[in-house]
Structure 1
Amino acid sequence: MSKSASARALARSQGAERSLTFVTGLLALFAGTAVLVLGVGWFGTYRARRPVLDPAVTEWLAAREPVVPRVIAIVAGLVLLGFGLWWFFRSLRPEPKPDLHLDRTQGHALTVTAGALSAAVRADTESVDGVTKAKVRSVGDPGEPALRLQIWLREGTDLRRVWQDLDAQVLARARTALGVETLPVAVRIELGASPRQRVR
């Protein structure tokens, strides 16, 4: 079964970032290994004493056409710079908070803002016994809503009971209010620590 758009949005996708990091690390590993192999002298002691970029190669490039390699290097550098800047700002862009459109009928449009949805679910969550604080974020898209929920529990709270109350009260009420049968939710739970006692 393929994941829906809202389910994928529960945890912000980091597949592209991880792939780029993996490829970059792999290239750096290969480059470092090649330099290490040259330095150790596996390709001969004479080659180990020469610069990494062999002068014979630079002389060969200069003898061909010095302008072409320089242009290629400059263009490649600018492309890499542009790609790096694009990736940097892409990684820092804020995650969208989509509003939910319950009715798109002309003259009778009904939209629930992401802030209102988050505030309502947060209030219901904090009313559950044992929950001291809650943060709710609306994610997904307007057609397929989803929630990201983070809650803090009081020390000694029964986790199973809190989860049952969340599912039977908070999430069930949210599904009913939104008119959806399923509402993907990612829940992160923080357990409260016992207060420290000062030793006298």
Structure 2
Amino acid sequence: MRTPVNRTLLCLAGLVLLAVGCAVLIGGLDLPRRWGFALPSWWSYRGPHDVLLDVRARTRYRKEGWWWPAVIGGLAVLAVAALFWLLAQFRHRGPGRMLVHSGEDGDVVLRGRAMEQALAADAAELPGVLGADALLTGGRTRPRVEMRMLLDRFAGPAEVVSELDGRVLAEARTSTGVDWLPAEVRLQAERHRARRVR
């Protein structure tokens, strides 16, 4: 959930809401008169008596019973969705850092994202694998791996899983010093057109 695109969208949405809120507060608190500055001609809210909707806009659907409940309900759903989106930015399913025992040199702290990238890169180099993605879940002492792998159309799933367990996951267990690193792997075959046989 915490991808750069997601952060950018969240930042832009926050800036837009902040700008709209400041525009309303400047007029609502009558700051131009109090602080002695002039607002541009296109500024909508100039004083505390300005309203968001004029009389015509407020009374246009007054006879329709569905209008205001629909508006309030839509805004409530939007606010709840935005709140969940914001809270999802602080949720991390996997260990942020792992403690790696390196013998005489002491312990090394390994970022969980670096571990995910290393697992994905190693898995992508296996024969028959076109691409891989890894996600660490679980706690710092009991990590788990969720992987998605795109296979070549001629690759055997059993061989790929065997290579993944015997090479990639074994090396990850050895390098991090964990005895137990279970993995859930989702395999997807490359899409291709069926060849016509004559």
TM-score normalised by L of structure 2: 0.49
With a CA cutoff of 8 Å and minimum separation of 6, indicate the structure with the bigger relative contact order.
1
Greater helix percent: which structure?
A: 1
